[in-house]
């Protein structure tokens, strides 16, 4: 016998404890996660273990992923793994004039379901995704180039945490206003004026999520679940090289919506033909009222300028900077920086690019270190971290696309190479392009060097920039964040005045700062429910993922009042 679909009341009862814990976590900003990080934690209570997840992924290869969407007029695909295998999965291509009206038709009932019911459905979707984390991990790995463990964690539980965080903020913002109110105004000897008022959170309209190649789920889930939880239908437009993880997400969402008695067309996929480039067309259609985008500055700027009918949330490129003035743990600083530069081949929007180091050197617990000594010791730390090919593959993953590889190969000509990049052979995927980072020394006082360090060089490329003093480093930090933006800033200093100066720059220019990290927390990592990813206050992003502001503009409160 088939199991009966859960009722709205049952879904709310099932997920209310999780929602309450998430609400408490965003209030306290303490550590919490309901999604296990370790692969061995899966395999019970309906979740796929490692073997079943790999089998589920393998079964997808070479198949047609039919989502049952209206308006399908073709089947498209073409993803090739950065590890060298063709996925061969095809996806529905949509006739937008059919699909968008079908999506819009489900919004009134979804709106009327209310914030709690919507949150429960969203949490059930996340639970279904979590149960298939092993399958998703392979999908993320073979579309983004992340190494398996990173794809498992960042593409699985960490992405799911980000989705849940968005649902919690969405719920909190919507219930800030009561659903009903009785209003009575005294009129002296006359009867009071009395009104009954009803307040409804109403959606903006259809939301568009434009996915990225490197972190399709981690970057995609905040906007997707923030919009869905606030009553909007969501159209997911994946990056052409990373369709599968978001297509699996859409499939899970449609299944849960249908089982819960809602219109499955509230979530749909917009895959594209090779070279079709439908993002601009979609983003400017009048039906699209919200756009979430992660990617290049050029296209993010275009969206902000041209998608005028929509509320546009962008996470764009930036130049992440580290000020290295002094340290009380030289070995720990080098190890921390080496890991940060190496993780996922630097293909993270949070990876440090510029290391600003006084040309006269720095104070450390091991004595004074010259600029050349610091760069040489950092190079040695990276070599030590990545000297073993098995460990290197586990940290680096694969180069995601030819553009990153080209930037890496061109970087050596920009200055003196402190650390040369090398090829790493992958034992399981001989066609994978795996490269260690390059570190190039630049003189911050020379105009020709400025063109390099003041431009984002996405990938495993970092610049050790010699500056005249700590004060010059702080001012260059300020100019970089103000002009180019930054998702992350880090600083190493034992000087209270320098620390205050760096902190003041980050407060004034709205950049997230990490100070003196020498242990197991890295500048390019952010924790859901606690850390703010981006700030919305500098050119790298126009919103923080996630906070109340990220969700509050996705709905409006409409009042209906009548005489009592």
Cα(9)–Cα(106) distance, integer angstroms: 20
**pLDDT in the model for residue 535:** 85
**pLDDT in the model for residue 7:** 81
**pLDDT in the model for residue 1:** 43
Q: Which residues contact 298 (CB under 8 A, 6 or more apart)?
A: none
Query: At 422, is the pLDDT very low, low, confident or very high (cuts 50, 70, 90)?
Result: very high
**pLDDT in the model for residue 89:** 98
Give the residue from 485, 45, 35 showing the smallest Cα distance to 217.
35
Cα(173)–Cα(171) distance, integer angstroms: 6
Percent of the chain that is helix, strand, coil (3-state, to 5): 45, 20, 35
Structure tokens at 151: 């794809």
In this structure, are strands 72-77 and 90-94 parallel, antiparallel, or unpaired? antiparallel
Task: State the chain's mean pLDDT as an integer.
Answer: 96
Q: Is the pLDDT of residue 4 over 90?
A: no
Give 3 or 221, the one with higher predicted confidence. 221
Strand partners, 419: 439
- Percent share of the chain, pLDDT over 90: 95
Query: Phi/psi at 204 (nearest 5 deg)?
Result: -70, -40
Q: Tell me the average pLDDT across 301-308.
A: 97
- Maximum alpha-carbon separation in the chain: 89
Q: Tell me the average pLDDT across 387-416.
A: 97
Q: Tell me the average pLDDT across 431-437.
A: 97
Q: Is the pLDDT of residue 279 over 50?
A: yes
Query: At 3, is the pLDDT very low, low, confident or very high (cuts 50, 70, 90)?
Result: low
Q: Which residues contact 194 (CB under 8 A, 6 or more apart)?
A: 182, 183, 184, 185, 563, 564
- DSSP type of residue 401: S
DSSP for 462-520, written as a single string: EEEEEES-HHHHHHHHHHHHHHH--S-EEEE-S-HHHHHHHHHHHHHHT--EEES--SS
Query: At 354, is the pLDDT very low, low, confident or very high (cuts 50, 70, 90)?
Result: very high
Cα(45)–Cα(404) distance, integer angstroms: 41
**273 CB burial (10 A radius; 0-12, 13-18, 19+):** middle
Structure tokens at 366: 């091991």
Q: Is the pLDDT of residue 564 over 90?
A: no
Q: Tell me the average pLDDT across 215-224.
A: 97
Give the residue from 342, 409, 327, 339 showing the smallest Cα distance to 373.
327
Q: Is the pLDDT of residue 415 over 70?
A: yes
Token pair 């994946």 is found at: 238
Cα(170)–Cα(163) distance, integer angstroms: 11
pLDDT digits (tens, 9 = 90+) for 7-63: 888 999 999 999 999 999 999 999 999 999 999 999 988 999 999 999 999 999 999
Cα(237)–Cα(223) distance, integer angstroms: 12
Residues 164 and 528: beta-carbon distance below 8 Å? yes
**pLDDT in the model for residue 160:** 98
Q: Tell me the average pLDDT across 443-459.
A: 94
Handedness of CA 168, 170, 176, 180 (dihedral sign): negative
**pLDDT in the model for residue 406:** 97
In this structure, are strands 489-492 and 461-467 parallel, antiparallel, or unpaired? unpaired
Torsion from C-alpha of 159, 20, 206, 299, nearest 10 degrees: -40
Which three-class secondary structure string do you get for 34-70?
CCCCCHHHCCCCCCCCHHHHHHHHHHHCCCECCCCCC
Handedness of CA 331, 337, 340, 342 (dihedral sign): negative
Give the residue from 513, 405, 521 showing the smallest Cα distance to 461.
405
pLDDT digits (tens, 9 = 90+) for 170-192: 999 999 999 999 999 999 999 99
Give the residue from 59, 61, 64 showing the smallest Cα distance to 76.
64
Cα(152)–Cα(275) distance, integer angstroms: 30
Q: How many CB atoms lie within 10 A of CB 176?
A: 11
Query: At 337, is the pLDDT very low, low, confident or very high (cuts 50, 70, 90)?
Result: very high
Give the residue from 353, 421, 347 showing the smallest Cα distance to 382.
421
pLDDT digits (tens, 9 = 90+) for 64-108: 999 999 999 999 999 999 999 999 999 999 999 999 999 999 999
The length of the chain in residues reads: 564
pTM beyond 0.85: the answer is yes
Query: Phi/psi at 127 (nearest 5 deg)?
Result: -65, -40
Q: Tell me the average pLDDT across 218-240.
A: 98
Q: Is the pLDDT of residue 2 over 70?
A: no
- Percent share of the chain, pLDDT over 70: 99
Q: Tell me the average pLDDT across 320-345.
A: 98
Q: Which residues contact 91 (CB under 8 A, 6 or more apart)?
A: 65, 67, 75, 76, 77, 243, 247, 269, 271
Q: Which residues contact 184 (CB under 8 A, 6 or more apart)?
A: 192, 193, 194, 195, 564
Structure tokens at 51: 């073997």
Q: Which domains does the chain have, with CATH numbers?
A: 59-184+204-316+544-557 (3.40.605.10), 321-515 (3.40.309.10)
What is the number of H-type helices and E-type strands within the chain? 20, 17
Measured distance between the N- and C-terminal CA atoms of the chain, rounded to whole angstroms? 50
pLDDT digits (tens, 9 = 90+) for 494-551: 999 999 999 999 999 999 999 999 999 999 999 999 999 988 899 998 887 778 889 9
Q: Is the pLDDT of residue 5 over 80?
A: no
Residues 339 and 507: beta-carbon distance below 8 Å? no
């Amino acid at each position: 016998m088939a199991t009966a679909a859960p009722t709205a009341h049952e879904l709310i009862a099932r997920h209310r404890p999780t929602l309450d814990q998430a609400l408490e976590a965003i209030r306290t900003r303490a550590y919490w996660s309901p999604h296990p990080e370790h692969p061995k934690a899966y395999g019970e209570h309906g979740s796929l273990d490692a073997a079943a997840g790999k089998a589920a992924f393998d079964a997808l290869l070479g198949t047609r992923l039919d989502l049952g969407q209206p308006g399908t007029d073709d089947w498209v695909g073409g993803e090739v793994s950065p590890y060298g295998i063709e996925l061969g999965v095809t996806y529905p291509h949509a006739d937008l004039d059919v699909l968008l009206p079908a999506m819009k038709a489900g919004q009134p009932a979804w709106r009327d379901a209310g914030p709690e019911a919507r949150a429960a459905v969203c949490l059930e979707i996340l639970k279904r995704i979590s149960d298939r984390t092993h399958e998703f991990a392979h999908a993320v790995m073979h579309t983004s180039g992340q190494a398996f463990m990173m794809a498992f964690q960042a593409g699985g539980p960490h992405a799911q945490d980000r989705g849940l965080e968005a649902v919690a903020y969405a719920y909190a913002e919507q219930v800030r206003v009561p659903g009903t109110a009785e209003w009575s105004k005294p009129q002296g000897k006359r009867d009071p004026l009395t009104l009954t008022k009803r307040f409804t959170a109403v959606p903006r309209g259809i939301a568009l999520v434009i996915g990225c190649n490197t972190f399709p789920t981690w970057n995609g889930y905040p906007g997707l679940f923030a919009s869905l939880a606030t009553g909007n239908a969501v159209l997911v437009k994946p990056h052409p090289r990373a369709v599968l993880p978001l297509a699996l997400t859409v499939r899970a969402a449609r299944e849960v919506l249908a089982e819960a008695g809602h219109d499955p067309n509230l979530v749909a996929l917009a895959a594209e033909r090779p070279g079709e480039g439908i993002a601009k067309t979609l983003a400017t259609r009048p039906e699209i009222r919200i756009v979430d985008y992660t990617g290049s500055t050029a296209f993010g700027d275009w969206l902000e300028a041209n998608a005028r009918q929509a509320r546009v949330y962008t996470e764009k490129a930036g130049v992440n900077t580290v000020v290295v003035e002094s340290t009380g743990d030289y070995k720990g600083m080098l190890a921390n920086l080496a890991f940060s530069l190496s993780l996922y081949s630097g293909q993270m929007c949070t990876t440090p690019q510029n290391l600003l180091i006084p040309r006269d050197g720095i104070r450390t617990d091991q004595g004074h270190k010259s600029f050349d000594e610091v760069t040489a010791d950092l190079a040695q730390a990276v070599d030590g971290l990545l000297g073993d090919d098995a460990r290197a593959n586990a940290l680096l993953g694969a180069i995601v696309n030819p553009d990153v590889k080209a930037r890496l190969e061109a970087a050596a000509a920009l200055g003196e190479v402190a650390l040369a990049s090398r090829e790493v052979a992958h034992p399981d995927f001989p066609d994978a392009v795996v490269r260690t980072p390059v570190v190039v020394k630049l003189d911050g006082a020379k105009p020709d060097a400025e063109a390099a360090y003041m431009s984002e060089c996405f990938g495993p490329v970092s610049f050790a920039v010699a500056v005249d003093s700590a004060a010059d480093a702080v001012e260059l930090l300020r100019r970089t964040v103000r002009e180019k933006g930054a998702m992350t800033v880090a600083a190493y200093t034992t000087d209270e005045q320098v620390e205050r100066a760096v902190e003041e720059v980050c407060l004034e220019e709205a950049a997230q700062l990490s100070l003196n990290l020498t242990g197991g927390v890295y500048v390019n990592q952010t924790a859901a429910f606690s850390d703010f990813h981006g700030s919305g206050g500098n050119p790298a992003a126009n919103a923080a993922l996630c906070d109340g502001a990220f969700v509050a503009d996705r709905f409006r409160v409409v009042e209906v009042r009548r005489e009592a």
